[in-house]
Amino acid sequence: MVKKTDIQLFDEEKGVRHDGRRPEDMRPVRMEVGVLDNAQGSALVEFGKTRILAAVYGPREILPKHMTLPGRAILRIRYHMAPFSTTERKNPAPSRREIELSKVIREALEASVFTRLYPRTTIDVFIEVLQADGGTRTAGITAASLALADAGIPMRDLIAGVAVGKVGGRIVVDVDEVEDSMGEADMPVAMMPGLGKIVLLQLNGSLSRDEFKQAMSMAIDAINKIYEMQKSVLKEKFTAYSEAGKNKQQQHS
C-alpha cells in the first residue's frame, strides 16, 4: 500500500492530480435506480470508488407514535457506513459524524420533498455507504434523491451534490479520500439545479473569497453534469414503462 505522505497531491508540471485527473474532472460516475425489490424506491450511486446504496420506505405510519407531526410528514434519514466500507473496520454503531451527516442530509432533502401532502406519516430514507473514498455525503444525497424520485414521492426537484476542495494550492472538483485528508480545504455542495437553489453547503479548512467563488462555479458545473445523469437514468427506467416514450425514442434513433 502506498503511504499517504509519498503521494504528490498536485503535479504542477503535468497539471494533474495524484490520480491523473485534471482539476475540473470528476471521477467516473455510475447510477442505477430500482435496485432493491422490497423498498418503495432505491438507488445505487458510484463516484469512483465511493459506492452508496439508498432505499426509501413510505409514506408510512410513524412508530414510535409520539414523533408524529400533525401538519406534515417527517423525514427520517439514516446515513450509515458499513463496517467494511473503510480500510480499517468501522464500528457499526452510529458515530457522532454519522448522526451529524444524517441531520444535514435530512435538512437538504426537506427543502425538496413536499412533506405537507402526507401529514402524520414518515418517509424513511436509508443511506448505506458500501465503500468510502471521499465525498460520501454528497454522493449519499444524490442517491437519496434518486431513490425518492423512484418511490414516486412528490418533490420540487432532484438534488445533486459534489465536493470541491483545495489541494496543493489548486481548486479541484470531486475530492477523494486522499485529497480530503491531506488537502487544505474541502467543501461539499448540494443543489436543486433546476431551481438554482443550494440546499447544502459546508466548508472544512479555509478558502479566500476568490477561491470560494471559483470553487462554487466549478461545483455548479459538476452538479449540472450529475443532474443530467440522474435524469437520464430515471428516464431510462420510466421510458420502458410508457409506450409514448418508447415511440419517441424510436423517432430519435
Partner 1 sequence: MAEDQHAAEGQPRIMVGEGDVVLPGDVLAIGDVDFNTPFAYKDGDVIRAAVPGVVEIRKIDRNGKAVEKVHLKPFDLTYMPRPGHMVIGMVIDIGTTYWVVDINSPYNAQLPVGETIMKHTGGYDTLRRYLDVGEYILAEILSFDRNRDPIISAKGKNYGKILDGKVIEVRLSRVPWIVGKKKSMVEAIERETGARIVIADNARIWIKGPDRRSEDLVVLAIKNIEQTKRVKPPSVEEIIDYIRRVKEEV
CB of 187 or CB of 234, closer to partner 1: 234
- Contact at 8 Å (CB) between 85 and 132? yes
Residue among 45, 139, 143, 153 that touches partner 1 (CB under 8 A):
153
Stretch touching partner 1 by CB under 8 A, among 13-21, 109-117, 124-132, 208-216: 109-117
- The answer to whether residue 192 forms part of the interface with partner 1 (CB under 8 A) is yes
How many chain residues are in contact with partner 1, going by CB under 8 A?
43
Helix residue spans in the chain (DSSP H): 96-110, 136-150, 177-182, 209-239, 243-252
Minimum CB separation from partner 1 for residue 199, in Å?
Answer: 13
Spatial neighbors of 239 by CB under 8 A, at least 6 apart, are: 245, 246, 248, 249
Residue 198 engages partner 1 in binding (rule: CB under 8 A): no
- Applying CB under 8 A, the span of 24-32, 45-53, 145-153, 200-208 interacting with partner 1 comes to 145-153
Place of cell 463516484: 47
CB 198 within 8 A of CB 191: yes
Percent helix, strand and coil across the chain, each to the nearest 5: 35, 30, 35
Query: With respect to partner 1, which residue has the nearer C-beta, 173 or 234?
Result: 234
Residues paired with residue 76 on neighbouring β-strands, in sequence order: 124
Residues that bind partner 1 (CB under 8 A): 40-41, 58-61, 70-71, 112, 114, 117-121, 149-158, 192-195, 231, 234-235, 238-248
